[in-house]
Chains A and B, each alone.
Chain A
């Protein structure tokens, strides 16, 4: 029986090829836009989540508050090495590491490049930094203790013409007018800022900037089995004492990666909902297109409906035939739309990659595909509901008489 409904519906779609295509185009453009936006959004969220997962759930990140610019630009009251020492003494803290970052000038021959210079600790703190910074040195070796004039560079210095030529191991560049020998290159991190950063030892950066106290970021690993929230509170207490802050008036922040991730995700979600909402408008318009086509179809087939009814077709039969037709229009449109959407998001991914943002990956989950198909079927049937009801309620005698 259902097979019959489907066949009648399918025949009617096929009979009006042009109209059916135009109706489906209306749906599939909308579905394609939504699918592309969702898959890119989810992909981005996944790569960010992965980054944070690598940090682990047993770390705390301490930064100063009141930054007026990009991360690392320094807050109102900078963190210091003594802060790090104070944190080390807190119960439940295993290791503490600090990272000092500055924007500096790199130079080869006459060409100058401004980039982040990151000081990597080489003493016992290195263990923690290695754990947090999961990126490997791809070529050459990493920074070791005593490397005062050695540098490891982001991958872009090796693969792109940042200077007059691509750099190689054992090349020498000037950093803030001091000579450094290249001993390694990091693997690709996925965004130009990181891939164009410059890594030297902590001793070297402190010498370079003549700075013994200040630091940009402090990271702490808690001892296994300790409650991270409690340790975070203790760290806050210790730093309040160090900074002479009253409770609630801290000039620093202590965050676990989970907290950082949550605040990221909130922003990402708001952006996604907004974009998808706007793209979703086109789905409504597409649905209205289906409704329009179905009303027309009901009108054109009035006589046919009359005949069906006069040879014993029930209202529900007529209803189903038209609902199926609308549903098929929606689902077919959705299927084409999903395909185009996937292709679109892949194209965006490739473009982003060539621009250095390999972090922007499209992620197409099976749920997205199933959801999009189900949604387009739903739109089709919902839009078909009124026209189908109109058809099913026709009086057979009037319908037969219709010219």
Chain B
């Protein structure tokens, strides 16, 4: 008898099988897309229209509704990749490799968005597009980590070796995550301190906070959608010589 309940083991093996993961993705995608669009619509309406103008920053602060959720996603996706990397190294689960490598371009995109929108916010507020302060620099390193994962995977011919290398890189790079998060507290930065994730009470008005949280949730759904789309291609390429892919082609 194993200590893990039977149904969890069964679920694990089922999801771990590429054809099941592929068809599950197809079933989930329309729902994820619908929920994403509803959340996005409300988040944008709330953030760009309903939320009041900031008394210090005017309407420039509305960049927050893409900047902060994108920055959160850039950290979140990296942690997902590191966990997937760990699972892949310990249990050699194929789908974990697929999730890891399919997440990389989306994580890189969110990091890029966080940096660019930060720049467009910094210019009118700080008077500069870029400063080499701890928050900005560690986020830039995160972008290089994502790009490193993508190019390392592309550079190694054998996909099993490539997956292993990328899993190790993802795990090693995870030390950068707490550095980014705490950078505004550890160092004296131009970037403002936390307003939402403060332990006591967020120092942001509720009408401003709600759209921010809605946008953050919308971005989570977006990540699931984009990751599954990339994962489907990755699975098809890896499994192109198998019976189920041949059958998929015949059924088309």
Q: Do chains A and B stick together as partners?
A: no
- B contacts, CB < 8 Å to A: none
- A contacts, CB < 8 Å to B: none
